[in-house]
Amino acid sequence: MSLTLEHCRERDARDPLRPLRDLFTLPAGVIYLDGNSLGPMPKAAAPRVAQAVQQEWGEGLIRSWNSAGWFELPQRLGDKIGTIVGAKPGEVVATDSTSINLFKVLSAALSIASAGSPQRKVVVSERSNFPTDLYIAEALCKERGLTLKLVEPHEIAASLDSSVAVLMLTHVNYRTGAMHDMRAVTRRAHESGALTVWDLAHSAGAVEVDLHGAHADFAIGCGYKYLNGGPGAPAFVWVHPRHADRFWQPLAGWWSHEAPFEFTPHYRPAAGIARYLCGTQPILSMTALECGLDTVLAAQPFGGMKALREKSLALTDTFIALVEERCAGHGVSLVTPREHALRGSQVCLAYVDPHASLPPEGASAALGRPGAGREGAYAIVQALIARGVIGDFRAPEILRFGFTPLYLGFEDVWNAVEHLREVLATAEWKRDEFNRRNAVT
Ligand SMILES: *Cc1c(COP(=O)(O)O)cnc(C)c1O
């Protein structure tokens, strides 16, 4: 049976999460499929940040560290994030950036591993992991005389031997949307004696995550993607309590000290996750992040992450079905795994011009290798953006669409696919204006 616009409207009409859309300011005429890169603005953010500027900073001045609760923000926001990723109160702090938090936890994990088993000198990760994760790991391995071993997803299990200290993975792949089974992969890593570091950048607020249920060791994640914390929002870090007090992390700034206001010349690490703080936090950004977290927590009365995940899968299933039905023959093919357990909240399509003469292999086999007929993806995304359908492009031929169930509906999905179909069918994307590159894609 073909899906119709009517079906999509009916699904929206009986969607219990529908009212959550009103928590956001979304520009008229925009279908926002890029909340996986930068979540949209919660309506509460502008007045809340204005209040933090005018009252807390303007009137309260330095007193606000106490009177406005500035000092406890990393913990308070951390507890809210904890409820979204399966951590317990007091186990998460919101702080610094994802890259910096990765440096801290990977350092701690490597110190723990080498204290027990100095012969373990390898960090394993995925070749298609997000570059900053790989760069941080590469730099740290270089400094410590370790080896960073990059493998394909199907090679992970076999790569885990007695030389491996840490397995560092991103739970949902930024490029393909493929998701690891955190529990099974962690079990396999532990059987081999390795510790796990999970990056939840594309998971937190997007899929159900149960860090304790998976027996994970360390996790970090991003505040400005599905958590809607605003551009450059602070990230977060979680360390399992069995590890939290075992090692100093190397960015041992004064906020991670047991008693920062004693101003002693010697470092004494705070107990627990506070040890993973570094220095003074960006309070205004923290304030905006809290508004973003509250949009995700607003789903709790409706079933929380479980309900969000169910709707996200229904949206992505609908998108995939409509693309395959209505855009067939126009050169787009599905890159994201179809199976629910194997994917996050985004759908990636590969574009190969059906009229160009191509080497024999298929689109997905050519991932990472631009070639004849594979240059259109960037311009297609630009043409969609000009029509108000905001997704993004990942080189060389990926069209990436993120689906956030907090504010997207089924009619949005229908309309997005209609725009895509028209852009492809009319070759609108070939216009010059869509083929000029910007710095940020
Ligand atoms: C978005 C993302 C980051 C971002 O790191 P920043 O320090 O915020 O620039 C890191 N890792 C992954 C896997 C991401 O998806």
Q: What is the pLDDT of residues 12-33, one digit of tens each?
A: 999 999 999 999 999 999 999 9
Residue 6 clears pLDDT 60, i.e. is over it: yes
Cβ 116 vs Cβ 194: under 8 Å: no
Ligand 1 atom with minimal separation from the 99 CA: 7
Does position 252 have pLDDT exceeding 60, yes or no?
Answer: yes
Ligand 1 pocket, residue 222 CB under 6 Å: yes
Residue 279 in this model has a pLDDT that exceeds 70: yes
Q: How confident is the model at residue 358 (pLDDT cuts 50, 70, 90)?
A: low
Rounded to an integer, the average pLDDT of 157-171 is 98
Question: How far is it, in rounded angstroms, from Cα 235 to Cα 251?
Answer: 16
225 included as an active-site residue: yes
What pLDDT is recorded for position 254? 96
Structural Rg of the chain based on CA atoms: 23
14 a catalytic residue:
no
Atom nearest to 97 CA in ligand 1:
7
The per-residue DSSP string of 3-62 comes to --HHHHHHHHHT-TTGGGGGGEE--TT-EE--TTTSPPEETTHHHHHHHIIIIIIIITGG
Whether the pLDDT of residue 1 is over 80: the answer is no
Atom of ligand 1 nearest to the CA of 37: 1
Mutate to test the pocket of ligand 1, among 99, 125, 251 (most ligand atoms within 8 A of CB): 99
Range from 155-169, 221-235, 300-314, 373-387 carrying the lowest mean pLDDT: 373-387
> Which entry of 224, 236, 319, 378 is annotated as an active-site residue?
224
CA pair distance 57, 75, nearest whole angstrom: 20
Q: What is the pLDDT of residue 378?
A: 94
Beta bridge partners of 126: 151
173 lines ligand 1 (CB under 6 A): no
Strands 235-239 and 92-95: antiparallel
Could you give the 3-state DSSP secondary structure of residue 145?
coil
Asked whether the beta carbons of 350 and 335 are under 8 A apart, the reply is yes
* Domains, the chain, ordered by start: 5-42+303-435 (3.90.1150.10), 69-297 (3.40.640.10)
Give dist(CA 368, CA 131) in Å, integer. 14
Inform me whether the pLDDT recorded for 133 exceeds 60. Answer: yes
Count of residues in the chain: 441
Mean pLDDT of the chain: 95
pLDDT surpassing 60 at residue 370: no
Active-site residue, from 15, 199, 217, 353: 199
224 is catalytic: yes
Annotated catalytic residue within 175, 311, 387, 400:
400
Helix (H, G, I), strand (E, B) or coil at 222: coil
CA angle 274, 137, 245 (to 5 degrees): 25
Rounded to the nearest whole angstrom, what is the distance from the C-alpha of residue 132 to the centroid of ligand 1?
7
- From the alpha carbon of 199, which atom of ligand 1 is closest? 13
Active site residue 199: yes
Distance 130 CA to ligand 1 centre (A): 7
With a cut of 50, say whether residue 364 has pLDDT above it.
no
